[in-house]
Every structure is written in C-alpha cells, then in structure tokens.
A and B are shown apart, each in its own frame.
Chain A
C-alpha cells in the first residue's frame, strides 16, 4: 500500500478559507504543515531508471481504496488457503496490531505527541469489555451495546489523560502518560482486593471458567470464540478486518479534514500553530481522545476473542512493539503503520521457532548487504570472504578441540545442517556467550564509524561473529531476542531512517 496518492490529492486539494489554491498540473499550491521542497521530493525521485522506476510510477497511480480492498480480500481469502488454526490466529493478531498501530499513529504520527500510556487505553478497552460482558459482575451486555459504550469511555479517559498535555510538552507529557500506564498496571494487577472487593481479578485477570467473557454478539447472534473442535473461529478474523477497514476509511477522512491538517501543523511547530490561531490545546486533547478510542475498540475485539483479559498482556513490551510498528512503517502514514504492524507481528511470530528464525537472519543479512553494496565487487568480496573465513575457522577450531564444533544446532532443516558445518557450535558455551555477544555489539557499533575498505575488512569477521552469536546465543532464547531486535529497530531507524519505510521525509526548519 502506498500513501503517496493521499499526499498527491492533498497537495492539489483546494484549501478552505481565503487562500485560493492553484490546482494546475505541478502547481505550487501552498499546503499547511509541510515544507514545499520536502513535499515535492517525490517528483524529483521518480526519475529512477529501469524497471523498478516504471513499477514505482505505476504503483503510485493505484488509488488507496484499491490497496485497502486488496488487503481486505487477502485477509478474507486467507482461511481458504490456510486450514491451520494457528495461521488464522496469527492473522487475527496481526489485524488487531494493525488497528492498534492506526490508533497510535493518530497521537504520535499526526499529533506529534509522545504518548507512553497508549497501551493502558487498549487495556482499559479490554477490561471494560470483560466487565460489561462477563460473569465477573454478572453483567451481560450485548456487544452492540457494550462496544460503543467502551469506545466512548476510551475517548473520555483519553481526554482526561490528555488534560495535563495542555500544560506539558514533550518529555513531561511522555512521563505523565508513562505514569498513567504504570497506574493502570498497578491497578489491574492489584485490583482483586480493593477494600475487600474483587474488581479486576488481580494477576489472574478476568476469564476462565468462573468469569468467562462473552463472545461478540450482534442482535442476538453470537459468534463463539472457538469452533466445536476447539480451533480458532475464523469469524473473528472477518470481524477484525471489517473493523479495520471501517476505522481506516474513517481515519482517512479525519486526516483530510481541517482537524487532520491542524494536527500536522501542530506536530511540525506547536508554537507557530498557536500563533496562527489554532486551538492547540483542544487539538492535543482530540488527538489523545481519538487514539484512545481506537485503542479501546481494539481492546474489546481482543478481549472478546480471548474470552478473558490478563494484566500480563498490557505491559511495557507491548508498548515498545506498538511503537516499533509505527516507527518502522513510517509515523504519519496510515498505510505505512499498517504495513509496519504486519512486518513486526510476522517477524515476532517467526522468531518464536528457531528453525524458522534462522531463515530470517540469513535472508536479512544477505538482503542488507545487497541494499548497501548493490551488485559490486565489494559484495562479492564480503560474501565470499565470510564464507571462506567461516570454513577456515571451522576447520582450525575443530582441529584444536573436537568439542568446540560438536554442538547441536537449534531447530532443524537444511539450513541448520549448513550452518552447523560452517559456524563453530560448541557443546557448551559458558562464559563465552556474554563475551561474544558484547563483542558483537561493540564491533557493530565500531563499524558504523569506519569507512571504505577498512569497513569491509572488519565487516567480514563481524558477519561471522554475528552468525556465531545468532546460532549459539540468540536462537536458544527467542524471548529476549525478539525484544532486543525491537529495541535495535527503534534506535537504528531513528538514527538512519526516521521516516520509516513508507513515511514522508521531514526536514526541521530552524
């Protein structure tokens, strides 16, 4: 999906008010909240030669709703191709994450507000659904009633949390929202004993046999969470993608409205926006409120499928995951953040299984090298050098100590066998695990300061060291590895490509 079309018609769209905009072809109509030089970087970039350039040109002309329809169709047809409940369930989770990313994009991408309490709204939506439609308090509202109620509740709580944002900016806002998140965590974890009353179920959450959460129900028509054979009910996938499509279209209209433009000008320069007479405080509150409402809605879908809510879900790692999705896809671009959500969730899912995670690593390394060196002598030198070095090291180390190469690889498959013959895999690593990991981090940081052939000379052993650490240390522990990668993605993107994959480049004008 590309958001470029969206920007095109924004550029040529006549502005309300006194400004008469020229809609002429390539005209220089003024647009609010963006730098003209930056805004038109696309026009200069299209001169890319070759088939890729033509393809890019063609893709630009595909309208946004075609992309959305394509996505919806792909998700809707997914159950036809995949019988496995696991794949369907992952697809459902991905759509939930896409919704989550859309909501966070309103606050961070459009409003430019650093909201670290976002997951709390998601949690509030989920908990509210679990309280309004479960045996916890014996309230069983039908979804058609409870979901709108919860969306409004989310918006109101968002408004309340956003209130401090009237006085606070930047870092202070981040910390107040982060504390709100902590407040939510403390309350949800300890809420089983509020003056002797059980409200949130504490660390056991709400759910299970005695407080099962109702499935979604519309006009007396219930969607059971699991099929009779205990597998994932694919109807939830359809509900999720339908909700995604509706939210996407609605937010697109919001983005193109006066409010959407005002948000972007707020993001670019709050002071200038205020000088222009924009109701800055109100805009911030609205951004918070919209984001919170989307998060709460997402929470209801999540809670209804899982038939329960547990405080362990709504923790800090989920916040980082949501940020990684938005930043990776490109903050500010709806298509981008949805794309980012797909990538991040699929990546995290694949990393669970060492056999699959291995493919991700080697493909990513080779693809990364291609992106850096293109097809050149240097690429051949690096790839060939690394391969030769690997076999040489394997032979030498094996000759010195047999045990050093006799360890078993994590997971199976032909690539595991190949890696076992190439990478040194000792039977036990002991203190070498932290040493090699720290060495890898240090060398990778060091490489970023090198240039030319020096960089290549260091790169070859580094790649081998990376493979060593990956095979021996990281594959064995998927849980920290997943989150290490998310953290690294955030830092790397911020330093190297802050606009993400599909975002729009921004230039700070001083």
Chain B
C-alpha cells in the first residue's frame, strides 16, 4: 500500500508536467495542425532559464551560500514567471521565423523545419552551457527543507514541493481553460482551430491568434520545465524524450482537446510511475511507446477527442 501511495504521488507529479507539455502540443496542433517538434526543447530551455534565475537571485547576498534577499517562495514564483516569459518569447520567435513562412507550403515542409529547430535549439544549448546535468538541488535551496519537509500519508512522506508542483500545474491549467473558454481571444482561438479560413473571413486576425497560441503553449512548457527540474536534474537532451511523452499524452487525451491533454498527461504519468515501481524502470519507456502506438492504431481520436473527418 505504501508503495502504491508513493508511486501515485510520483505519477501525479510526473503527470502534471506531462499535462502541461501536452497542452502546448494540443493548442498548437489545434490551431496550425502542425506537430511542433521543437516544443520539447522549449520546455528544456525553460528548465535552464529557471536554473540561471535561481543561481542569479540566490547568490545576491553572501558569496558562498544560497541566500536570496527575499523569501524562497517569492524566488520560486519569480523563477517560474521569468522562465514562462522567456520560453514564450522563444515560442514566438520559432513561429515567426520557422513556421510562418511555411504556412502554405506542403504539409511535410513545416515538419522538417520543426525537426531542424528542435535540433538547433538542443545543440545551441549544449554549445553554450555544455552537456552536463544541472541540478536545482545543488544550490541547497532553503537548506534543502523544500525537498524534505511535508506531511505523511500513512508511512509515506509527501514533500511539500510535490504538492506545490501539482497544485501550480492545476492552477495554470485552470487559467488556460478560462482563457480559452471565457475571453474573446480564446473564442478566436477556438474559431481558428475549427476552420482557419472561415475564421479569417470573419475578420479574425489569424497571425495574432497563432502568436497568442504559441505564447500560451510555450509559457506552459517553460513552467513544466521548471517544475520538472525542481525534482530531477535537467540536461540539454531532456527535451526530446519529454516532447515525445507530452505528445503521447496529448494523443491519449485526444489532440486538440484541453481537458484531454490534462487527463492524458495524468494517465501517462501514473502509468509510467506504476511501471517503474512494479515492473522495471528499464522498460517503462517501452511501455509508454506501446500505449501510444496502440492508441494511434485503434483510437487515434483519443479518449476525449472527436473523430476527425477528412474534408476535401
């Protein structure tokens, strides 16, 4: 039972990170019908911006120790916001220079471009910061209390940090949900993803909607990057596999659907945690891929999505 609770908490933490990545995939896919391969790398950049910010804010005071002049919580909030702003900017740049010129090109062109962008970002980061792992934990944030203190469920220790990660992921998802369903821009986004040409004819500024979509999706990826890096070391190669898993989550939930991406992320996170806990950590990736291929073949519209009808 303890094992089960432990793995459930692991799964939920992992799942909320996957859900945030999946949302970015889903939003972009909904509006552009483009598989944004660079999304995983945007997430990786988010983790690195977070690392830089923690370092910069924490070592303002005394030289040797991590002692920010404001409270740890405030630092973490700033780190999250800066990472989100940075990745949002990166997302806009990617859209402007790599995807927009290809909007009317054959379907395969933006995909190849996306592949190139992904590669470019990952190796640019390696060029600048090296291939070694970056561990937020190495700073001794709050003397490590953040990673240890918490409460118990049965015999299982639940660090506060886990709760915060899950909670802030849910807050972000709710904010996104409200943005998409309750605002004019959200309405424009939904209209664009329903039928881009018709939306344009109705006077919707498609370019603005697409930029806004990239801002939202990339900011969520940046937040996910920080959240992931708070509990495991970050490296320049982490984007690729995380991007794949985020996409898997989006497909499980039904690509283009917001609740689908959230549900898919949580399902995937839990499935991975249980496989790691009960079967073998070596084969957990394999398990994820088998789930995805199964969904692709038998229910490509996902759990929450609607079947896509090919229009001529």
Contacts and interface: CB of A to CB of B under 8 A. Distances in A.
A487 B120 contact: yes
Contacts of A112: 106, 108
Contacts of A116: 115
A489 B116 contact: yes
Given A320-B119, A498-B105, A508-B106, A474 B112 contact: no
A437 to B, nearest CB: 6
A175 B35 contact: yes
A325 B251 CA distance: 31
Nearest to B129: A434
A67 interface: no
B285 A114 contact: no
A490 B112 contact: yes
Interface stretch (B133-141, B170-178, B183-191, B290-298): B290-298
Interface stretch (A7-15, A133-141, A475-483): A475-483
Range of interface residues on B (Cβ < 8 Å): 35 or more
Interface in B85-137: 93, 97-98, 101-102, 104-113, 115-124, 126-129
Most A Cβ at <10 Å: residue of B116, B120, B285: B116
B282 interface: yes
Contacts, number: 138
A483 B108 CA distance: 21
B300 interface: yes
A114 B240 CA distance: 18
A114 B114 CA distance: 13
Nearest to B109: A494
A54 interface: no
A176 interface: yes
Interface in A478-501: 479-481, 483-484, 486-491, 494-495, 498
A112 B107 CA distance: 9
A491 B117 contact: yes
Interface in A326-347: 327
Interface in B188-219: none
Interface in B269-289: 282-283, 285-286, 289
Contacts of A434: 128-129
B35 A174 contact: yes
Nearest to A492: B116
Contact of B116 (A182, A316, A487): A487
Contacts of A437: 124, 127-128
B228 interface: no
Nearest to B282: A190
Interface string A167-191: 1101110111011101100110010
A114 B120 contact: no
Interface of B is mostly: helix
Contact of A495 (B33, B101, B108): B101
Contact of A488 (B106, B120, B293, B310): B120
A66 to B, nearest CB: 32
Nearest to A271: B312
A487 B289 contact: no
A450 to B, nearest CB: 13
A246 interface: no
Contacts of A256: none
Contacts of A494: 98, 102, 105, 109-110, 112-113, 116
A372 interface: no
A179 B294 CA distance: 11
Contacts of B123: 480-481, 483-484, 487
Contact of B296 (A114, A168, A193, A484): A168
A484 B127 contact: yes
B283 A179 contact: no
A68 interface: no
Contact of A491 (B34, B120, B283): B120
Given A434-B129, A495-B113, A498-B105, A179 B244 contact: yes
A76 to B, nearest CB: 34
Contacts of B110: 494
Given A171-B111, A179-B293, A182-B289, 5 more contacts: A480-B123, A483-B123, A484-B119, A498-B105, A508-B105
Closest 8 CB pairs of A and B: A490-B116, A487-B120, A487-B119, A434-B128, A491-B116, A171-B35, A480-B127, A494-B113
12 contacts: A164-B293, A164-B297, A170-B108, A172-B296, A271-B310, A320-B116, A327-B112, A448-B97, A483-B119, A483-B123, A484-B124, A491-B98
